[in-house]
Amino acid sequence: MLTMLGGLRNFCDGITRRETLQAGTLGMLGGLSLPSVLRAESAGSEPRAGKAKSIVVMYLHGGAPTQDMFDMKPQAPVEVRGEFNPIATSASGIQICEHLPRMAKWMHKAAIVRSVVNRSNCHNTMPSFTGWDQFLEDLTILKDSYPPSVGSVIEYLNQQRGLPAFATRPAPPADLPAYAHLPAPLGWGGGPIKAGPYAGFLGKRYDPLEAICTPTTDPGVPITVREDPALVKGVPRLPDNVLAQGVTIDRLSQRKGLLEQLDQQLRGPALQTALSGFDRFQQKAFDVLTSNTLKRAFDPSRIDATVRERYGDTLFGNSTFIAANLIESGVRFVTVLWDWYNGRLGSGTFQDFGWDTHMWNFQILKKYLPVVDMSFASLMEDLDRRGLLDETLVVVMSDFGRTPRVNKDAGRDHWIHCYSVLLAGAGIRGGTVYGASDDQAAWVKDRPVSHADIAATIYSAMGLDPHLTIPDKLGRPVPIGQYGQPIEDLLA
């Protein structure tokens, strides 16, 4: 049994000493390697020719009210339909919210799934990021038995060059990760970091490169309350992207060389093969630390006044612009997170709960939707201008939806039974609506879709078979698409 992936975290990349010995023994006896396992598993499988080489996920954390965005019900009672009106889009017959006018111009390149169902608990982000739709007792425990996020699977498969979807494409530059997450770890803005974007049983070496940030508001912003949150400002940056004082590149290289010599003394021939993945992890860390490509992608001087105006001059907008830079540089999967920052902007002076609009839903959306509108449209425009739109898939999603009926506080509460996800760009049949909600956007009326189906659709858009398996901690085969089925009607 191959148990090299996951396990107790005795090494920083998730490999335990015992598992290393087991993997080393396998390498000696049979010459078995992980790429050969994957090639064997994918033999005979002929997935579609994927059009998407890269993915950008725009994630609205907290439960965005998609019936006020992409699935409006103008004929419903006022306490259901809300305050906003629908407008026509560039796709015949598709209407979206009046506060998304620039996004409306891109609907001929987009598909809306209006029948997504979440079978887990509220604010559980595992389904969105992984396709794994299970109830979790504690959303802040990052278990190494959890399945990996789609981004981590892409990072993992990218290093296994035997897969057809990646073998014919140039790998990202050596100094770049395949997976990045902006502007900070999920949940950091409001407290503990949450499970979801990470590599789980694949091991920490397939976690995303996570940016950090210092969220702020405009100078002089008065004490705000929940019904009128100020927009969060800031620019994400690389962690430790500047070498420690007095540590030059030459000195860092010398230290790396000494570490390698020490490692060689501690390893037998069997372990050298088994630890090759660990070596790659060390090399990646060294490359990222010294990467001029990454530093240029994150360079704040590139976010000039014109960029800020186009993207909305917010932390989310600036992160979206950097996502475009990362995609252009060769990163395959970038998550742009709109978190809440109630715990990071000064106690008692600022209340920000992201998209968790239990109160004053429409008043908050009048501020938030224009930022999403500018960020999405500017991303699509920049990808198109840079010649990347035909090979980049953009996904807009949230962890769940909001109640059909507006509550006594002018808000919408948690609702997992029906909401929307938007996909646009490469691999997607534009101008498409899949599934339907009932006349109050409360329940699925036609063709329910799980998050596993969304994950499978993303994989298929990249030319990856969602039924391809990867081994969990116990060596059991787990399909990367979590048993979901790709939505063929959406795929171009």
Residues 362, 394, 434: CA angle, nearest 5 degrees: 75
Closest CA to 361 of 99, 58, 101, 185: 99
Question: Are the CB atoms for 446 and 114 separated by under 8 Å?
Answer: no
Question: Are the CB atoms for 137 and 7 separated by under 8 Å?
Answer: no
List the chain domain ranges.
33-243+290-490
End-to-end CA distance of the chain: 39
Distance CA(393)–CA(309), nearest Å, equals: 24
The pairing of beta strand 469-471 with beta strand 392-398? unpaired
Question: Are the CB atoms for 489 and 115 separated by under 8 Å?
Answer: no
β-partners of residue 477 are 471
User: For position 160, what pLDDT does the model report?
Assistant: 72
Tens of pLDDT, residue by residue, the chain (492 residues): 333 333 333 333 343 333 333 333 333 333 333 444 444 444 444 556 678 999 999 999 999 999 999 999 999 999 999 999 999 999 999 999 999 999 999 999 999 999 999 989 889 999 999 999 988 888 888 899 999 999 999 999 887 764 555 555 566 677 789 999 999 999 998 888 999 999 999 999 999 999 999 998 887 666 566 667 789 999 999 987 544 444 555 555 554 555 455 455 555 554 444 444 445 555 656 666 678 899 999 999 999 999 999 999 999 999 999 999 999 999 999 999 999 887 787 655 566 788 999 999 999 999 999 999 999 999 999 999 999 999 999 999 999 999 999 999 999 999 999 999 999 999 999 999 999 999 999 999 999 999 999 999 999 999 999 999 999 999 999 999 999 999 999 999
Which amino acid type is present at position 482?
A: Q
Whole-Å CA distances, 56 to 182, 186, 346? 11, 16, 31
Distance CA(172)–CA(297), nearest Å, equals: 14
Distance CA(1)–CA(176), nearest Å, equals: 32
DSSP string, 164-196: HHHHTSPPPPTTS-SEEEESS-TTTTTSS--SS
Q: With DSSP H G I counted as helix, E B as strand and the rest as coil, what are the percentages for the chain, rounded to 5?
A: 35, 15, 50
User: For position 275, what pLDDT does the model report?
Assistant: 45
Output DSSP code: residue 199.
Answer: -
User: For position 248, what pLDDT does the model report?
Assistant: 52
The strand order across the sheet containing 333-338 reads 209-210, 179-182, 333-338, 54-60, 392-398, 419-425, 110-116, 432-434
Which amino acid type is present at position 474?
A: L
**Considering the domain 33-243+290-490 in this protein, what is its CATH number?**
3.40.720
* H or E stretch at 86: strand 86-88
